[in-house]
Structure 1
Amino acid sequence: MKHEIRFSGFGGQGIILAAVILGRAAAIHDGKYAVQTQVYGPEARGGASMSAVIIDDDPILYPEVTAPDIYVIMSQEGFLKYGRTAPESAVMLVDSELVQDRPACRYHEIPSTYEAKSTLKKVIVANIVMLGALVATTGVVSEAAIEKAVLDSVPKGTEDLNLRALKLGFDLGRRSMKDETA
């Protein structure tokens, strides 16, 4: 099954790294095809950034995301620039601390930045928390694949912190699914 995932936030949040890790999980650890692209403004840190991943069971013939079905939005500016026009058929994960608007499509409020700061004491892993929530809510890759990809991608010495962030994200994603059905 083909998925087009668009990540957006501000420079410094690890938006591009999150997309790279997701693509790695799909291509290397889940045996799927994946392609990743990125866009960020000249201001880089602090300005809006966007990264996208296509994941498919079949070879990908066109490497640009044209119709995202999954959005991961981690800033208000990112929502306004890349998420506001999400179709009703899409699903969106929004960082509930940093995104004020809500989309017309189905969405999950994930307090990734808040939880990274308060629970893990490291805001820098908010992107990994969000990756865990993404996998838990969409199943776009397996949990085992994303765990391996995180371990392959993070700096040596931070593996334990990043795995705790990922598992926290799994829990937050599962909770948001329960809230949706309640």
Structure 2
Amino acid sequence: MSKKVEFRLSGAGGQGLILAGIILAEAALRDNKNAVQTQSYGPEARGGASKSEVIISDNDINYPKVRKSDVLLALTQAACDKYIDNLKDNGILIVDENVEIKYKNNINIYKYPILRTASEILGNKMVSNIVALGVINGITNAVSVDSLKKAILARVPRGTEELNKRAFEEGLSLVNNLK
């Protein structure tokens, strides 16, 4: 049986969600799966709406856009409000601890201190995207941990590899500690 998972990573510009989507897609390719990544963001470089979409499949991907997501990451309230209606029934909603879920039945909701972990534990809010990747993969196991680590280290700015490795591990441990 083939498996296809559609991800929508959303938040504000400057949170690194485009890079997170690229890393997730690259990890899938490293696992010999098919993947496609698309992105959009508002006119503001920082602070405007941002989303990255990734489709991972064992088979060919016929359409590169996410129609209804299986997994929605929302790091901001605005992103959650905007995209929650496009989450499939029984889909996975992953939100930062500050996001309020106002409605929506038949979804699996996971709330984690993603932004706080980046800023307070790691001392750098710029790695919240990598913390989020750890959380996403801890919940979904969409790609192998090894492939995701390799993709992270291949894509993050030089000199930040250790910080980003720790961010990924912190994201994974958020999920493991709350299972």
Q: What is the rounded CA distance, in whole Å, between the counterparts of 2:86 and 2:55 in structure 1?
A: 19
Q: How does 1:107-122 map to 2 (within 5 A)?
A: 107-122=109-124
CA contact (8 A) 2:69 2:86 kept: no
CA contact (8 A) 2:67 2:86 kept: no
Q: Which residue of 2 aligns with 1:172?
A: 174
Unaligned ranges ≥5, structure 1: none
In the TM superposition, residue 24 of structure 1 has moved relative to its aligned partner by: 0.5
Identity %: 43
Q: What is the rounded CA distance, in whole Å, between the counterparts of 1:61 and 1:85 in structure 2?
A: 19
Q: What is the rounded CA distance, in whole Å, between the counterparts of 1:49 and 1:113 in structure 2?
A: 16
Q: How does 1:11-160 map to 2 (within 5 A)?
A: 11-27=13-29, 29-97=30-98, 99-101=99-101, 103-104=104-105, 105-160=107-162
In the TM superposition, residue 80 of structure 1 has moved relative to its aligned partner by: 1.1
* Further displaced range: 117-126 or 36-45: 36-45
Q: What is the rounded CA distance, in whole Å, between the counterparts of 2:68 and 2:85 in structure 1?
A: 14
Q: What is the rounded CA distance, in whole Å, between the counterparts of 2:78 and 2:28 in structure 1?
A: 28
> CA deviation digits over 1:145-173, x for unaligned, max 9?
11000000001110000000000000012
Q: Which runs of 4+ in 1 moved over 2 A?
A: 83-88, 100-104
In the TM superposition, residue 88 of structure 1 has moved relative to its aligned partner by: 3.0
Give the TM-score taking structure 1 as reference length.
0.92
Q: What is the rounded CA distance, in whole Å, between the counterparts of 1:73 and 1:11 in structure 2?
A: 12
Unaligned ranges ≥5, structure 2: none
User: How many residue pairs get matched?
Assistant: 175
In the TM superposition, residue 175 of structure 1 has moved relative to its aligned partner by: 2.6
SS in 2 for 1:87: strand
* Further displaced range: 14-23 or 103-112: 103-112
Structure that is richer in strand per residue = 2
CA contact (8 A) 1:7 1:71 kept: yes
CA contact (8 A) 2:118 2:126 kept: yes
